[in-house]
């Protein structure tokens, strides 16, 4: 048989079909995109972060077919639901290489527990990549963890675990607002490079028995410097360092600047007695109850030696409670992640004392029951309410008046209009004229009345607390400003810090932000429903967080903003104080500030000395005419606030309930919350802005704190570089001077 021959046109058709199929295959084959994609968003520390606090985030980008250099932007809501955006610095661009993964870090402040996150990569004047993330279960695609309440207690642990889990389980209650959470960090790269990234952390704990974890910090000390700065500005650090101290604490060691003395040598530790006395727990029965350890010996120790294995003349500090700037530093010359302490039954009680936590769970639970369910659970909520009630010339329209307006309006547009046009004028068709006139008239009357009650001027109520450490020259300022605006407007806000009478220009660092309301109250960051806003565009922070651009505020509304600043300044106080034999104070203080200081109160240990006003250049001598009272009595007495109270207890204190609207009283309680047993006194928490509490410095016998108030306005907010103020603003400005106390002079 001969083969069949296909006609020529069949061959042509087959060729065309084959070509079309090949082209379709080429079109369907995936090709790499030119633009990068946003692959992942990692929030906080292992997913844990506080609402209303700055927290680090890490964005992971995957490169496309082309190389790009740009900036990252993250948008999240503030506590009012208004979108806020942070953008990476222009001088630190983010480079994305083709096909490679790049990560970058930013700081964000989230105001709602169910926030939506918008992440964008900006380059060449456009958005090249964009992705939304939602707060929810981590296993969900595109989900990130939600923030924990601002009143939670977050413990950040780096290095091997020291047994905090047992302590938290024994200590914690079931109240969501008071929960304590442990965050374990494995690598130094997870630590923030900016101190403000630690803002949501209550205590950082470093365990050092595995020194290889710390060696990367020798190559780049930025993270150690950030940690140190955070402590200096009010943070709390606990360092456990025993067997590896020679490497880590020596002069060139990575932690040499984070201990309350100078490393001298390694010495043996054989006895448990000092640890038993400190913790109140018995030694283990193994090894005959003896130790065989080598621990570091510190010299020139600054602070209070809580446990001493040596003699008074030749101390061997095991536990030192000290300070670093305005913050608290606790040093433990032991490794609690290793035997025999790892298996010691007394480890929990030891850690409780290290952290200075109450051991009475019953008292804590009783205090939790006093927390109001419809109010903020934190002291900052009380301060916001008090500031809201202090606006000059601004009155809230009573509900009864609103109801009366509604009733009058209904009567006018209904029977009133009918009787007027039908019975009096006898021309019902005129209702087409009278009805809109009534609507316009009532609306105008309501607007006039509201404007008359609330005013037509900006109002600002501001509290500022400035703390100064005489030994280091460090000044720290904390500003809370609650402002009312009678119109819809937006503002470009920055802060011009002032120290005493002068603006600060040199060596200044400042961060500004919105201030949230903790809890489930109306407007709270954990409200059952997210706050809605009419402002879809929102506002943005400058890359250095020193300003906010285009902050929108609705008509007849308030907003609370805050700022933190620090600088090196000259000392305005010349102290010459010493401890007497009965642990009271002697000596004198001189005011060299260039301005008068009012309501001066000198605090030392459990005692407070009322000095009254100190004019510029005046010295006050502590003698028998100035009798001390307890710190709690002095800070909560009848005359401790803006007004004098008459209803006092037997010990001279004023109940918190009768004084909770007094701004001065609230601020004094917040400044020394632990010293006055604030949890019991107020029934509230003080964790959102807990760095303000300087009670730990009162435990240092070598220190005293001079508390004073100045009548001049403090730091100045600027709107587009112009003063953001009115003639009826109110200011509460307090100063705390941390002064050294020496020993009594020889007779």
How far the first Cα of the chain sits from its last, in Å, is 136
List, in sequence order, every residue forming a beta bridge with 467; answer none if it has no partner: 476, 736
Helix/strand/coil (H/E/C) assignment for every residue in 647-696: CCCCCCECCHHHHCCCHHHHHHHHHCCCCCCHHHHHCCECCCCHHHCCHH
Tokens of 162: 């020291």
- Residue ranges in the chain modelled with pLDDT below 70: 1-32, 138-140, 172-173, 284-289, 359-376, 393-399, 401, 405, 417, 447-456, 528-535, 746-747
392 in a domain, yes or no?
A: no
* Residues 6 or more apart whose Cβ sits within 8 Å of residue 324: 228, 231, 232, 237, 258, 260
Q: Are residues 228 and 324 in the same domain?
A: yes
Q: In this structure, what DSSP letter does residue 258 have?
A: G
Tokens of 305: 């030696």
325 in a domain, yes or no?
A: yes
Q: What is the pLDDT of residue 79?
A: 92
93 in a domain, yes or no?
A: yes
Q: Are residues 201 and 90 in the same domain?
A: no
Q: What is the pLDDT of residue 584?
A: 92
d(CA 310, CA 168): 32
Q: Are residues 52 and 153 in the same domain?
A: no
- Strand order of the β-sheet with 236-240 is 180-185, 153-158, 203-207, 236-240, 327-332, 317-324, 304-308
Q: Let me know: does 342 contact 336? Beta carbons within 8 Å.
A: yes
Q: Which of 453, 475, 498 is the last residue of a domain?
A: 453
The three-state secondary structure class of 105 is strand
Q: Are residues 308 and 419 in the same domain?
A: no
What domain range includes position 440?
Answer: 399-453
Kindly tell me the number of DSSP H helices and DSSP E strands found in the chain: 17, 37
Measured from the Cβ of residue 85, the count of other Cβ atoms closer than 10 Å reads: 17
Note the pLDDT tens digit of each residue in 377-391. 799 999 999 999 888
What are the b/e assignments for 669-689, b being 16+ CB within 10 Å? bbbbbbbbebbebbbbbbbbb
List, in sequence order, every residue forming a beta bridge with 553; answer none if it has no partner: 489
Q: What is the pLDDT of residue 365?
A: 53
Closest by Cα among 285, 277, 271 to 344: 285
Q: Are residues 230 and 338 in the same domain?
A: yes
d(CA 266, CA 164): 27
Q: Let me know: does 481 contact 460? Beta carbons within 8 Å.
A: yes
Q: Which of 383, 418, 453 is the last residue of a domain?
A: 453
* Residues 6 or more apart whose Cβ sits within 8 Å of residue 453: 394, 395, 396, 397
Closest by Cα among 559, 562, 395, 386 to 484: 559
The DSSP code sequence of 360-417 is: -HHHHHHHHHTS-TTS-SBHHHHHHHHHHT--TT--PPPHHHHHHHHHHHHHIIIIIH
Cis ω for the linkage preceding 340 (within 30 of 0):
yes
Q: Are residues 69 and 215 in the same domain?
A: no
d(CA 347, CA 278): 11
519 conformational bin, left if phi > 0, alpha if psi -120 to 50, beta if neither: left
465 in a domain, yes or no?
A: no
Q: What is the pLDDT of residue 169?
A: 84
Q: Let me know: does 78 contact 559? Beta carbons within 8 Å.
A: no
Q: Are residues 602 and 676 in the same domain?
A: yes
Closest by Cα among 237, 247, 180, 183 to 213: 247
Q: Are residues 129 and 152 in the same domain?
A: no
Q: Are residues 115 and 153 in the same domain?
A: no
Q: Which of 414, 437, 453 is the last residue of a domain?
A: 453
Instruction: Give the global pTM.
Output: 0.88
Q: Are residues 445 and 585 in the same domain?
A: no
* Residues 6 or more apart whose Cβ sits within 8 Å of residue 614: 589, 591, 596, 597, 600, 620, 708
Closest by Cα among 128, 135, 127, 126 to 108: 135
Measured from the Cβ of residue 219, the count of other Cβ atoms closer than 10 Å reads: 8
Q: Are residues 225 and 330 in the same domain?
A: yes
List, in sequence order, every residue forming a beta bridge with 495; answer none if it has no partner: 717
Measured from the Cβ of residue 29, the count of other Cβ atoms closer than 10 Å reads: 7
CATH number for 311: 3.40.50.880
724 in a domain, yes or no?
A: no
559 in a domain, yes or no?
A: no
6 in a domain, yes or no?
A: no
Give the ranges where 500-659 is alpha helix by DSSP (H).
631-635, 656-659
Q: Let me know: does 69 contact 93? Beta carbons within 8 Å.
A: yes
Q: Are residues 407 and 363 in the same domain?
A: no
How many structural domains is the chain composed of?
4
Closest by Cα among 295, 286, 288, 296 to 340: 286
Q: Let me know: does 152 contact 126? Beta carbons within 8 Å.
A: no
Closest by Cα among 457, 463, 462, 464 to 484: 457
Phi, psi of 553 (to 5 degrees): -135, 135
Q: Let me know: does 296 contact 305? Beta carbons within 8 Å.
A: no
510 in a domain, yes or no?
A: no
CA 557 to chain CA centroid, Å, is 24
């Amino acid at each position: 048989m001969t083969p069949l021959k296909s006609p020529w046109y069949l061959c042509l058709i087959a060729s065309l079909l084959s070509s079309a199929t090949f082209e379709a295959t080429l079109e369907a084959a995936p090709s790499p995109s030119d633009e990068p994609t946003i692959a992942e968003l990692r929030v906080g520390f292992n997913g844990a972060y506080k609402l209303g606090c700055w927290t680090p985030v890490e964005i992971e980008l995957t490169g496309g077919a082309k190389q790009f250099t740009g900036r990252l932007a993250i948008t999240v809501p503030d506590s009012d639901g208004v979108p806020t955006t942070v953008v990476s610095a222009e001088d630190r661009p983010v480079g994305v290489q083709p096909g490679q993964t790049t990560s970058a870090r930013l700081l964000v402040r989230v105001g709602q527990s169910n926030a939506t996150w918008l992440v964008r990569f900006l380059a060449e004047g456009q958005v090249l990549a964009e992705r939304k993330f939602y707060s929810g279960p981590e296993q969900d695609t595109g989900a990130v963890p939600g923030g924990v309440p601002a009143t939670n207690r977050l413990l950040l642990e780096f290095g091997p675990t020291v047994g905090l889990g047992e302590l938290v389980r024994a200590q914690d209650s079931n109240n969501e607002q008071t929960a304590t959470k442990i965050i374990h960090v494995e690598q130094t790269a997870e630590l923030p490079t900016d101190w403000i990234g630690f803002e949501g952390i209550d205590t950082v704990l470093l365990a050092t028995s595995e020194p290889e974890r710390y060696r990367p910090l020798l190559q780049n000390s930025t993270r150690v410097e950030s940690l140190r700065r955070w402590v200096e500005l009010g943070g709390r650090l606990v360092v456990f360092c025993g067997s590896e101290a020679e490497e880590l604490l020596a002069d060139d060691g990575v932690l040499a600047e984070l201990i309350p003395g100078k490393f001298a040598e390694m010495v043996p530790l054989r006895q448990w007695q000092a640890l038993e006395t400190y913790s109140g727990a018995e030694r283990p029965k193994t090894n005959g109850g003896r130790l065989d350890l080598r621990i570091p010996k510190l010299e020139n120790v600054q602070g209070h030696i809580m446990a001493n294995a040596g003699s008074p003349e030749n101390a061997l500090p095991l536990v030192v409670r000290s300070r670093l700037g305005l913050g608290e530093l606790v040093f433990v010359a032991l490794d609690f992640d290793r035997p025999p302490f790892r298996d010691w039954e007394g480890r929990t009680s030891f850690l409780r004392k290290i952290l200075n936590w109450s051991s009475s769970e019953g008292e804590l639970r009783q205090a939790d029951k006093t927390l109001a369910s419809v109010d903020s659970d934190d002291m900052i909520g009380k301060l916001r309410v008090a500031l809201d009630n202090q606006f000059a010339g601004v009155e809230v329209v009573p509900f009864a008046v609103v109801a009366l307006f509604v009733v009058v309006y209904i009567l006018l547009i209904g029977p009133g209009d009918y009787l007027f046009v039908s019975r009096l004028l006898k021309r019902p068709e005129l209702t087409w004229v009278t009805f809109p006139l009534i609507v316009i008239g009532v609306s105008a009357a309501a607007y006039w009345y509201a404007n008359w009650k609330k005013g037509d001027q900006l109002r600002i109520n501001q509290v500022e607390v400035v703390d100064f450490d005489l030994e280091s020259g460090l000044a720290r300022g904390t500003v809370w400003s609650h402002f009312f605006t009678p119109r819809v407007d937006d503002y470009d806000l920055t802060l011009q810090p002032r120290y005493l009478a002068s603006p600060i220009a040199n060596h200044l660092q400042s961060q500004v932000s919105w201030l949230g309301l903790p809890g489930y109250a109306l407007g709270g960051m954990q409200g059952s429903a997210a706050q809605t806003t009419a402002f879809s565009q929102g506002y943005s922070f400058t890359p250095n967080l020193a300003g906010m651009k285009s902050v929108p505020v609705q008509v007849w509304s308030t907003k609370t903003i805050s700022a933190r600043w620090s600088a090196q300044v000259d000392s305005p106080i010349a102290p010459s104080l010493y401890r007497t034999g009965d642990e009271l104070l002697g000596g004198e203080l001189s005011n060299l500030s260039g301005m008068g200081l009012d309501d001066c109160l000198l605090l030392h240990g459990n005692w407070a000395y009322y000095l009254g006003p100190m004019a510029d250049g005046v010295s006050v001598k502590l003698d028998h005419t100035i009798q001390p009272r307890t710190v709690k009595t002095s800070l909560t007495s009848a005359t401790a606030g803006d007004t004098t109270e008459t209803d006092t207890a037997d010990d001279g204190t004023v109940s918190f309930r009768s004084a909770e609207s007094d701004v001065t009283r609230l601020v004094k309680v917040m400044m020394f919350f632990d010293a006055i047993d604030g949890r019991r006194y107020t029934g509230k928490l003080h964790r959102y802005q807990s760095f303000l509490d300087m009670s730990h410095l009162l435990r240092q016998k070598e220190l005293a704190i001079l508390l004073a108030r100045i009548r001049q306005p403090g730091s100045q907010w600027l709107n587009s570089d112009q003063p953001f103020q009115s003639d009826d603003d109110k200011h509460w400005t307090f100063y705390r001077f941390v002064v050294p106390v020496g020993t009594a002079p020889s007779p």
